[in-house]
Amino acid sequence: MRTFSDRLVDTLLKTGSPCVVGLDPRIDRMPSFIKSGRTGNSARAVIRDFHELVLDTVTGLASVVKPQLAFFEQYGSAGIQAFEDTVQAAKQRGLLVIADGKRNDVDSTAEAYAAAYLGENAFDVDAMTVTPYLGGDSMIPFVDACREHCKGIFIVLKTSNPGSSDYQDQTLQKTGRPLYETVAETIRDFGDGLMGESGYSSIGAVVGATFPEEARCLRALLPNAFILVTGYGAQGASPEGAAACFNEDGLGAIVNSSRGITYSFGNENVTKGAFVKSVRENTLRMCDEITAALAISS
Amino acid sequence: MRTFSDRLVDTLLKTGSPCVVGLDPRIDRMPSFIKSGRTGNSARAVIRDFHELVLDTVTGLASVVKPQLAFFEQYGSAGIQAFEDTVQAAKQRGLLVIADGKRNDVDSTAEAYAAAYLGENAFDVDAMTVTPYLGGDSMIPFVDACREHCKGIFIVLKTSNPGSSDYQDQTLQKTGRPLYETVAETIRDFGDGLMGESGYSSIGAVVGATFPEEARCLRALLPNAFILVTGYGAQGASPEGAAACFNEDGLGAIVNSSRGITYSFGNENVTKGAFVKSVRENTLRMCDEITAALAISS
């Protein structure tokens, strides 16, 4: 099988879309037509039906979907069953799946997380997000699993929230540079050992597009890494901020929007047709905005 | 309801044991008698039965159990159902439950994690572990949930692995001190707003006992925080390293052992009686070792 990075490049070239559709199940915000006529505890079925409709709509318009585990976990094991359904449905439609759970731990526990998401026995997604605070050795089991199973990881590097300055931006005495640059060096080193034919590695970075200057710096530091760009839309990042995360070849970044695509349909009494139209138009608009910003910046 | 910290102090005074029994389900390492006679996909039942036996054995000898989510997640949604069973079984036996998942994210996603673990609708444990890299604002939803539901969190501060030096130990230009001390200040500030009658706050810290000097420094920086001590036993931390995490009142820390308690029974053909004896003796030995080290250090 081809590396994750090569499979990602393949699908990006095929769809022409750098859009990642974030799947954050929030049943209370879903349209009434999805929920009506059900009885009892039907969280799993509601989430499955909602996502199948979203997936049918965005197939061909987006390259990747990013289910956010927190929103599934809030429905307990029924939510995790819905996560399994969602992953399956996305893969059946040829979409790549990044499980966003920002997992990590030390030692054999990191191995268990890598097995859970990147191995073949449990969730078996294409890539997952990983946090760095525990240090380089905590990431090795994930990198090893990427190599073994042709999967990818995106290591959390510089997040989109104001508090990302608390620790990530702290200048280190040793380097005179922010902490996130030291984390970026770890990402680069792991990536050097996992390079695809495309010239991109399967070890990516999560970067918030709310800080374009930092994004430009990280883009330069990590020329061969894919950046998973967050904060677009609802969190206030601009198309220009997202464009700063791309390479000149128009690749090297994928941009996530969650609420901006799936929950911007207005009133809960929206019809199925109007909901589908809203998801479709929001995805296309985001794609157009980023493409336009890339054309200006290049 | 009393705060998490007060409930923890209550149970510690009642049992006299600072031991946390880590529950890391690894079916391949479980005794044969737990697995025999089953057919098909029975991961949930095997994990449930194994943990019920462990819980029956350690009730009264330990104050807290710490299911490690990674090991449940590797069995997919069946593993999460087993996690729900395990939480329920522990609570029925009067044990406090810390879900060790090292979760965090920004904004409404952090709210979803807090709702999943600390709210009343999904897993409803007593406390959970949280990672700090995303910054102070990412922790607010967890702190708010602790206040609302009388729950606790343990923020990952200084981990037990060699790579914990990569970022956690980096000296910051601003303070001339390691990053983990800045994280400790955040923990202290959140804790000041969530103090119990016991004088302990419900915002604790995860500290590896493999670095006794750093542990002593963090103990002094966080006099009112509970420290969840990791790395005991299998990861090489000594009773003296664990003792460095306690206050002079003999409180302020709880010490986890996972493999050292539940998987130290020797051969997979162990009898049920010998397995129970092994779990019981390993728990008592750990408790004795720590109590002895505390007597020497005080």
pLDDT at A235: 72
Q: What is the mean pLDDT of chain A?
A: 96
Strand stretches in B90-202, DSSP E: 96-103, 127-130, 152-158
Judge whether residue A212 has pLDDT over 80: yes
The first and second tokens of residue A25, run together, are: 């199940």
Smallest Cα distance from A259 to chain B, Å: 11
Integer Cα distance of A254 and A246 in angstroms: 8
pLDDT for res B297: 79
The pair of structure tokens assigned to A296 is 């200006």
Residue B280: per-residue pLDDT: 98
**CA distances, B185 to each of A206, B156, B205, B218 (Å):** 26, 13, 11, 10
A70-123 confidence digits (pLDDT tens): 999 999 999 999 999 999 999 999 999 999 999 999 999 999 999 999 999 999
**In chain A, residues 61-120 whose CB comes closer than 8 Å to chain B:** 68, 70-71, 73-77, 79-81, 83-84, 100-110, 112-113, 115-117, 119
pLDDT at A89: 98
- pLDDT of B40 above 70: no
pLDDT of B132-145, one tens digit each?
Answer: 999 999 999 999 99
Structure tokens at A224: 């061969």
**Catalytic residue set of B:** 102
Q: What percent of chain A has pLDDT over 70?
A: 98
What single-letter amino acid sits at B11? T
Q: Has residue B252 got a pLDDT over 70?
A: yes
A234 to chain B, closest Cα gap in Å: 11
B166-188 pLDDT, tens digit each: 999 999 999 999 999 999 999 99
* pTM, rounded to two decimals: 0.98
Dist CA A203 CA A186 (whole Å): 10
Cα–Cα distance, A52 to A66 (Å, whole number): 14
Can you tell me the mean pLDDT for B86-93?
Answer: 98
Tell me what pLDDT residue B37 has.
79
Q: Tell me: pLDDT of A41 over 70.
A: no
When pLDDT is averaged across residues A41-52 and rounded to a whole number, the result is 94
Higher pLDDT: A167 or A238? It is: A167
Q: Which of A102, A158, A174, A272 is catalytic?
A: A102
Q: Does B156 touch chain A (CB under 8 A)?
A: yes
Q: In terms of Cα–Cα distance, which of A238, A229, A158 is closest to B135? A: A158
DSSP label at B217? H
A41 shares contact with chain B (CB less than 8 Å): no
The closest of B151, B81, B138, B111 to A28, measured between CA atoms, is B111
Interface of B with A in 233-252 (CB under 8 A): 235
State pLDDT tens for residues A112-128: 999 999 999 999 999 99
Confidence bin at A40 (pLDDT 50/70/90): low
